[in-house]
């Protein structure tokens, strides 16, 4: 072989070895990060000896973790507060204000946000709904007020829009631009839709509520959807509760009926318009698009006599119970849209399946949601604040600054 060809061949081999080394190093680093993250989130270490081949998922035996490495001990987390009744008395004199973007600088505004009344009200709303669905199936009977029925009808209307606006057939690399038509229609009709669920006496709140609805289903320009849009929908429900449109009697239905229907609407949108995940960590995140169905979904399964966290690794079980339990429906949807073994497409969820009980999963999900969604500037910077979710220091009725309570880190970034 001529000298120049020999040198070229050696160069190609060296580049191949370098690329392989970098890939292996990156893989090891990410697995180590996930291990530290779950441990620091309060989830116990998992017994990997139970992981055996599963024909339905094509799962090989997973290697045991390297116990010679000991991550730093997490800061002890105080006991979570008992949710208080969040109703504030809104009289005719209350001045609603269109919400505006207040979180513009990570260093300056995140500490304010994490100690704000808006943050406190949202967290307490999440806790209240979590308590309401413990040991409750989606199909369990619950109070269906006129308000929850109206929100359900609104979601049905949005679901029909997806049928009315088919995806464009021209080749498109990232997302389908027909979704921009969908979001434009939502933007134009948001105030009318909000009016349909409010009593006439509360119509002055329409300009404050409409932006939360508009921001709940994805971004029409970026053609993406993520946990920030999910947060916007929950903020809308929280605002309606604060206005007494919903009451505590509606909490179960808000999750098992309204939120479950919302999830199906956005899943249909994601599949129809092939939306990109907004701010996703890829396979190393909990999920590309949603977070709260894992939190509230794990609450539904607390004390279940048969279904355990490890049950998510059995596809037949997942398909059997997905209709009744949000957590399993999330797993089912992941299997539908992702190709490959479950432990490869969703390694964090696969690791969490090793947690011994749903109570630990539930508490860990809340901590992770605080850290990865409410505590992340790239997510909450898009959430506007108004009179119902005010960007002011939390009052004493909100049980003090929750940033300290949840060990939030204002300086953290993606």
Q: Is residue 371 part of a domain?
A: yes
Q: Is the dihedral of CA 146, 152, 155, 157 positive or negative?
A: negative
Q: Are residues 300 and 161 in the same domain?
A: yes
Task: Judge whether residue 398 has pLDDT over 80.
Answer: no
Farthest CA pair distance, the chain: 90
Task: Say if pTM beats, i.e. exceeds, 0.85.
Answer: no
pLDDT given for residue 32 in this prediction: 46
Mean pLDDT of 183-192: 98
Task: Judge whether residue 11 has pLDDT over 60.
Answer: no
Q: Is residue 101 part of a domain?
A: no
Q: Is residue 332 part of a domain?
A: yes
Q: Are residues 31 and 133 in the same domain?
A: no
Using CA atoms, how far apart are residues 106 and 93, in angstroms rounded to an integer?
35
33-47 tens-digit pLDDT: 444 444 444 444 444
Q: How many residues does the chain have?
A: 414
How large is the angle between the packed helices 117-132 and 358-369, nearest 10 degrees? Answer: 160
Q: Are residues 242 and 391 in the same domain?
A: yes
For 225, the token pair is 């959807």
Mean pLDDT of 69-81: 40
Please report, for residues 114, 285, 305, 310, 312, the alpha-carbon distance to residue 57 in angstroms, rounded to integers and kept in the order given.
40, 20, 24, 13, 10
DSSP string, 192-254: HHHHTTS-GGGGGGHHHHHHHHHTSS-BTTTTEE-HHHHHHHHHHHHHHHHTTSS-GGGHHHI
Domain that holds residue 175: 106-405
The DSSP output letter for 258 is I
How large is the angle between the packed helices 292-300 and 117-132, nearest 10 degrees? Answer: 40
pLDDT given for residue 73 in this prediction: 42
Total count of domains within the chain: 2
pLDDT given for residue 285 in this prediction: 56
Using CA atoms, how far apart are residues 210 and 239, in angstroms rounded to an integer?
11
Q: Is residue 352 part of a domain?
A: yes
Q: Name which of 122-131, 255-264, 325-334, 338-347 the model is least confident about.
A: 338-347
Q: Is residue 122 part of a domain?
A: yes
CATH number for the domain spanning 376: value is 1.20.120.1150
Q: Which alpha helices (H) appear in 338-384, and where do they start and end?
A: 342-345, 347-352, 358-369, 377-380
Q: Are residues 26 and 148 in the same domain?
A: no
Q: Is residue 337 part of a domain?
A: yes
Mean pLDDT of 380-403: 76
Q: Are residues 134 and 235 in the same domain?
A: yes
Q: Name which of 55-64, 179-188, 243-252, 366-375 the model is least confident about.
A: 55-64
Please report, for residues 61, 129, 189, 230, 395, the alpha-carbon distance to residue 206 in angstroms, rounded to integers and kept in the order given.
55, 24, 12, 20, 25
Q: Are residues 263 and 348 in the same domain?
A: yes
């Amino acid at each position: 072989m001529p000298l120049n060809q020999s040198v070229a061949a050696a160069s190609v081999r060296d580049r191949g070895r370098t690329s392989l080394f970098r890939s292996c190093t990156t893989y090891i680093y990410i697995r180590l990060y996930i291990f530290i993250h779950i441990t620091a989130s309060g989830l116990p270490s998992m017994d990997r000896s139970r992981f055996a081949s599963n024909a339905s998922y094509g799962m090989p035996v997973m290697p045991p973790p390297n116990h010679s490495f000991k991550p730093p001990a997490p800061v002890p987390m105080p006991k979570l507060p008992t949710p208080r009744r969040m109703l504030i008395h809104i009289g005719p004199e209350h001045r609603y204000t269109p919400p505006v973007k207040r979180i513009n600088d990570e260093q300056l505004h995140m500490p304010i946000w994490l100690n704000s009344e808006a943050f406190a009200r949202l967290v307490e709303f999440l806790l209240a709904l979590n308590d309401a669905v413990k040991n409750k199936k989606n199909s369990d009977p619950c109070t269906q007020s006129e308000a929850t029925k109206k929100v359900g009808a609104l979601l049905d209307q949005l679901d029909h829009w997806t049928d009315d606006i088919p995806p464009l057939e021209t080749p498109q690399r990232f997302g389908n631009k027909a979704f921009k038509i969908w979001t434009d229609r939502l933007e134009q009709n948001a105030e009318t839709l909000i009016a349909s669920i409010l009593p006439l006496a509360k119509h002055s709140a329409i300009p404050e509520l409409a932006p939360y609805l508009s921001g709940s289903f994805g971004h029409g320009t970026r053609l993406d959807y993520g946990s920030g849009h999910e947060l916007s929908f929950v903020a809308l429900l929280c605002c309606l509760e604060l206005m007494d449109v919903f009451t505590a009697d509606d909490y179960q239905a808000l999750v098992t009926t309204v939120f479950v229907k919302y999830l199906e609407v956005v899943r249909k949108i994601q599949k129809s318009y092939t939306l990109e995940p907004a701010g996703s960590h890829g396979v190393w995140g909990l999920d590309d698009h949603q977070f709260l169905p894992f939190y509230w979904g794990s609450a539904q399964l607390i004390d279940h006599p048969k279904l355990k966290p490890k049950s998510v690794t059995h596809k037949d079980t997942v398909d059997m119970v997905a209709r009744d339990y949000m957590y399993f429906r999330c797993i089912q949807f992941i299997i539908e849209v992702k190709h490959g073994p479950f432990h490869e497409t969703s390694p964090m969820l696969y690791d969490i399946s090793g947690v011994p009980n749903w109570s630990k999963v539930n508490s860990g999900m809340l901590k992770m949601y605080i850290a990865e969604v409410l505590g992340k500037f790239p997510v909450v910077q898009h959430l506007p604040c108004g009179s119902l979710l005010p960007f002011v220091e939390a009052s004493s009725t909100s049980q003090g600054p929750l940033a300290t309570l949840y060990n939030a880190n204002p300086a953290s970034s993606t």
